[in-house]
Homo-oligomer: A and B are copies of this chain.
Amino acid sequence: MSKLTDVPKRILIGRALRSDKLGETLLPKRIALPVFASDPLSSVAYAPGEVLLVLSIAGVSAYHFSPWIAVAVVVLMFTVVASYRQNVHAYPSGGGDYEVATTNLGPKAGLTVASALLVDYVLTVAVSISSGVENLGSAVPFVVENKTLCAVGAIVLLTLMNLRGVKESGKLFAVPTYLFVAGVFLMILWGSFRGLVLGDAMHAPTSELQIKPEHQGLAGFALVFLLLRAFSSGCAALTGVEAISNGVPAFRKPKSKNAATTLALMGLLAVTMFCGIIGLALVTDVKMAENPAVDLLRDGVPVGAGYTQDPVIAQVAEAVFGHGSFLFMVLAAATALVLFLAANTAYNGFPLLGSILAQDRYLPRQLHTRGDRLAFSNGIVLLAGAAILLVWVYGADSTKLIQLYIVGVFVSFTLSQTGMVRHWNRLLTDERDQARRRHMIRSRAINAFGAFFCGVVLVIVLATKFTHGAWVALLGMVIFYGTMTAIRKHYDRVAAEIAADETPAEETARPSRVHAIVLVSKLHRPTLRALAYAQLIRADHLEALSISVDPDETRALREDWERRGINVPLKILDSPYREVTRPVIEYVKGLRRESPRDVVSVYIPEYVVGHWYEHLLHNQSALRLKGRLLFTPGVMVTSVPYQLQSSEAAKRRARRRADWSAPGSVRRGPVERRHKDPHRKEHNGRGRNGKG
């Protein structure tokens, strides 16, 4: 991996980036395509199978509907791609669905989209990893025999890689993605050549099996419902299409045009691969069943629980390239790899969306730093935890997980496109130029159709999949929505509480004097430093305070104090229970009672150590005291640090941490580092998915 990341240093984006090299870091289309398309392209690894699987409920004869379903998916894909090309042009700053919905439909719609996206990121990880494990399992049986374990292992591995902060390069994405695309196209071409020109009869490993239909001879409404369900499953091919619209700033100029072209290219590739695989599956007689153990029959006998159903793409590859052949192996590996890459995109998107939501105060404020390591870590640990839970509960079964997947995607598609219609409406009220009006009206028509179509799909998905698992995704969305609303309410309430009055005169009586207290336990360097600093402050009254928990130590302290001739009065309070906190608090409260307009300033010498376990051994009493003092009005608490030698270790760690660069930056576009027009910078900084 280091080899891979060393070479393309030019296109790496990191903190070391100089603004004058900015141009070089932008993505050309040939790199942008794999960077953004690993997610949508990888979904052709599972979407075709899901279509066949649902159809098999009505028996193998229903497979002849699959081309029609493929056509419907293709039309939908073109619609969505056409719609998002409008987004790309309208929001060159990279308007994510969250932003589009918030700006045009209001914060509630925005928050709904955000909830849907968060759920989606979790499911992207769960589905992609599960499917990746299944694809790998078609070549390496061990993997599929220990599916859940391998899937959880893969998630943990990805999580650790992302937590460490792997530097990304376009090439890292390009190699497996192009390998995957090339493999699938080679398979389609070679398969067609063998079938049409050579006249070979290709047989998938499941071609000799029969399917026991769960419902024989479905017709009328039941059949329509089944076809709609199959269509819903096929829509899994559309997941991830919106990614490019978030990443416009990462493209070379002309950004919007290049992004739109890449989007179209991606749609075309996805559609061709999807249809090619379905076509080959029909030709090679692939059989897929929802419950393979029961519904797949070999000579009339169920294949039983020991049977593992390989993904369609693997079965087709086996039929075309031959079982265990080199090309079969390569394609299986590339498929698994591109699926893992797809999962990885969620690791970038989730914390980034989190930081945008934090800016809008829907999430804890400290997450708002872009590429901040801690915020990033919290985000990916949450993401990984949720994905592992889902993988565990659903036994890493991609078919079951996909039932949950598509709801969120179409919630955000629908709201985003509806928002775009509003966007054009708003622009049209002001626009007088007829050519541009026509253009806008055309765009609005495309987005309106997109919104309508996606809305219809959403209803279909909800209707056909609700009981199959979509409710879980909806529940997840409701939980995110509720939590974020509560957090926002809290912040709003606090903001109202702390808002300053306009007339400062009405403020409560201003404090008049400072009574400074230095806490002393022994006379060592930290204490001496605290005393020296406190003396600099020129408070109206300064004294040292010691809590006597041991008479011998107290006597020693007093003697030491006098011997050194420290010209600060030393006050000693007795504490029979060896408590420290309570006597100090009571003393401070007493001072405040005597002169309520005084401010008490408490100086606490603090040890700075380098390891967490040393923290357990130091400062705990100081921390607790500080915690209690803060509740007392009219007090300020000053930590005077003393750096122990071991603190060097922490400094070294901090330096290493500074070299860390957040994964996913390659997709996000560059940010200039410093000292330029703050406006442009800020715009760029929040550009990717923010308010633009």
A residues with CB within 8 A of B: 355, 359, 364-366, 368-372, 374, 487, 490-491, 494-495, 497-500, 504, 507, 510-514, 523-528, 532-533, 536-539, 548-551, 554, 564, 574, 576-580, 582, 599, 601, 603, 606-608, 614, 616-618, 620-621, 624, 626, 628-631, 633, 635-645, 647, 650-651, 654, 658, 671-675, 678-679, 681-682, 684-686
Query: B497 contacts A644, CB within 8 Å?
Result: yes
Given contacts A364-B616, A640-B636, A641-B630, contact A679 B551 (CB under 8 A): yes
Interface centre among A364, A500, A579, A645 (most CB of B within 10 A): A500
| Smallest CB separation, A204 vs chain B (Å) | 51
Contact of A513 among B536, B599, B606, B645 (CB under 8 A): B536
Query: B487 contacts A500, CB within 8 Å?
Result: no
Q: How far is the CA of A599 from the CA of B628 in the complex (A)?
A: 27
Given contacts A494-B607, A511-B533, A682-B576, contact A651 B631 (CB under 8 A): yes
Q: How far is the CA of A68 from the CA of B657 in the complex (A)?
A: 70
Contact of A524 among B495, B527, B624, B640 (CB under 8 A): B495
Query: B620 contacts A366, CB within 8 Å?
Result: yes
Can you report 14 A-B residue pairs in the complex whose CB atoms are below 8 A from each other?
Answer: A364-B617, A365-B617, A365-B620, A368-B578, A514-B537, A574-B675, A576-B672, A576-B674, A608-B630, A630-B641, A631-B647, A633-B643, A635-B641, A636-B638
What are the residues of chain B within 8 A of A369 when measuring CB–CB? 577-580
What are the residues of chain B within 8 A of A490 when measuring CB–CB? 614, 617
What are the residues of chain B within 8 A of A682 when measuring CB–CB? 548-551, 576
Query: B641 contacts A637, CB within 8 Å?
Result: yes
Query: B533 contacts A618, CB within 8 Å?
Result: no
What are the residues of chain B within 8 A of A523 when measuring CB–CB? 500
Q: How far is the CA of A507 from the CA of B618 in the complex (A)?
A: 24
Q: How far is the CA of A355 from the CA of B578 in the complex (A)?
A: 10
Query: A532 contacts B548, CB within 8 Å?
Result: no
| Smallest CB separation, A174 vs chain B (Å) | 27
Tally of this chain's copies: 2
Contact of A366 among B512, B624, B684 (CB under 8 A): B624
Q: How far is the CA of A374 from the CA of B525 in the complex (A)?
A: 28
What are the residues of chain B within 8 A of A639 when measuring CB–CB? 626, 630, 636-639
6 A-B pairs besides A369-B578, A499-B525, A633-B643 with CB distance below 8 A are: A498-B524, A498-B642, A500-B527, A536-B599, A636-B640, A636-B641
What are the residues of chain B within 8 A of A500 when measuring CB–CB? 523-525, 527-528
What are the residues of chain B within 8 A of A537 when measuring CB–CB? 514, 537-539, 601
| Smallest CB separation, A633 vs chain B (Å) | 6
Query: B578 contacts A370, CB within 8 Å?
Result: yes
| Smallest CB separation, A19 vs chain B (Å) | 10
Query: A538 contacts B536, CB within 8 Å?
Result: no
Interface centre among A487, A580, A678 (most CB of B within 10 A): A678
Q: How far is the CA of A73 from the CA of B510 in the complex (A)?
A: 76
Closest to A525 in B: B498
| Smallest CB separation, A249 vs chain B (Å) | 13
| Smallest CB separation, A292 vs chain B (Å) | 40
Given contacts A369-B578, A617-B365, A630-B641, contact A498 B510 (CB under 8 A): no
What are the residues of chain B within 8 A of A574 when measuring CB–CB? 674-675, 678, 681
Given contacts A578-B368, A578-B685, A638-B638, contact A536 B549 (CB under 8 A): no
What are the residues of chain B within 8 A of A638 when measuring CB–CB? 601, 636-639
What are the residues of chain B within 8 A of A512 when measuring CB–CB? 536
Closest to A539 in B: B537
Query: B608 contacts A631, CB within 8 Å?
Result: yes
Q: How far is the CA of A250 from the CA of B415 in the complex (A)?
A: 74
What are the residues of chain B within 8 A of A539 when measuring CB–CB? 537
Query: B624 contacts A370, CB within 8 Å?
Result: no
Query: A621 contacts B365, CB within 8 Å?
Result: yes
Q: How far is the CA of A644 from the CA of B671 in the complex (A)?
A: 37
| Smallest CB separation, A107 vs chain B (Å) | 17
What are the residues of chain B within 8 A of A614 when measuring CB–CB? 490
Q: How far is the CA of A666 from the CA of B514 in the complex (A)?
A: 44
| Smallest CB separation, A535 vs chain B (Å) | 9
Query: B631 contacts A678, CB within 8 Å?
Result: no
What are the residues of chain B within 8 A of A620 when measuring CB–CB? 364-366
Given contacts A525-B500, A621-B365, contact A685 B576 (CB under 8 A): yes
Closest 10 CB pairs of A and B: A366-B620, A630-B641, A638-B638, A498-B524, A498-B525, A576-B681, A576-B685, A636-B640, A369-B578, A551-B682
Given contacts A538-B538, A636-B640, contact A576 B671 (CB under 8 A): yes
